[in-house]
Amino acid sequence: MVSKFSSLDYTTMFEKENPIPVMITLTYPGDWLVVAPSAKASKAHLTSFRKRFERRFGIKFQALWKAEFQRRGAVHFHLFCVAPVPVIEFRDWVAETWVSIVNHPDPEQKRRHRIAGTAVDIARGSTKESPKRIAIYFAKHSSPNIGAKEYQNQPPIEWIEAGSVGRFWGYWNLGFQSAIVELDLYHALFISRTLRKWHRAQDQISKKRVRRVNIETGEAKYRWVSRRVKRFPKEAGFLIADCGLELADSLARALLAKFDSHSLPRSEISKTFRDKSQR
């Protein structure tokens, strides 16, 4: 998901003057199975939200979305987009629209849902020049894929028994700004090792929850530790950088400096890296 979202072209999303990127959260009432008994029903609600956005504001809804599940089993959606109107006004529209779409038959459930069924938070620092920040912010705003919040990726048994849980994430009306370059194994290893060293030089640190067992008593304890973020541990993987085109050009120059014209012709380098970087 992070890799895909980092490859999207966000230029058109931020075309309006002074764009305000926001994170939307859409949840369900306490008695959620009445209105969302299956994945198909909840995805129909999400699709209806997108269509109402486009009718109300007269523009294509450009957004990222991800589905997650609460401990009670109910699904909720996270969306990243640019607010088409002032944020205060947009919050009111999102709340009223989502309650109207879900339309719980119980008046009390509907009243409570209107009060606490949605949220619109400003995604500070997210711009069209920072696809890495957008993708990682979106992933962190939702839950991690491992650890204490793993349950948020577990669909309810009712959906599983219905035969499908649907997609967990996606995007609307955004295109890719990327290119695939094929290299032979020797040159690919050089690229992966160069990227590994470049990433290590950034000295990125993350917090991890680790388990420690007392050998004598068998008692297990957990604690948080700081660990360096690793990339390409086995010569393969992906790396995200806001300066992707500049990094691609630097890799092209590194290949030219490393290998002579017989092993890797200059025309090949130009075709696979530099021409793509100029686009």
Interatomic CA distance for residues 240 and 199, integer angstroms: 10
1 or 276: which leads in pLDDT: 1
pLDDT number for residue 60: 94
Interatomic CA distance for residues 237 and 20, integer angstroms: 33
Confidence tier at 189 by pLDDT (50, 70, 90)? confident
pLDDT number for residue 64: 93
Distance of CA 140 to the CA centre of its chain: 8
Q: pLDDT tens digits for 210-258?
A: 888 888 888 888 888 887 777 777 777 778 777 777 888 888 888 888 8
Q: pLDDT tens digits for 122-131?
A: 887 677 667 7
Confidence tier at 275 by pLDDT (50, 70, 90)? very low
| Average confidence (pLDDT) over 5-12 | 86
Contact assessment for residue 35 and residue 41, using Cβ atoms and an 8 Å cutoff: yes
Check whether 100 has a pLDDT greater than 90: yes
DSSP 173: S
| Average confidence (pLDDT) over 19-45 | 92
pLDDT number for residue 160: 85
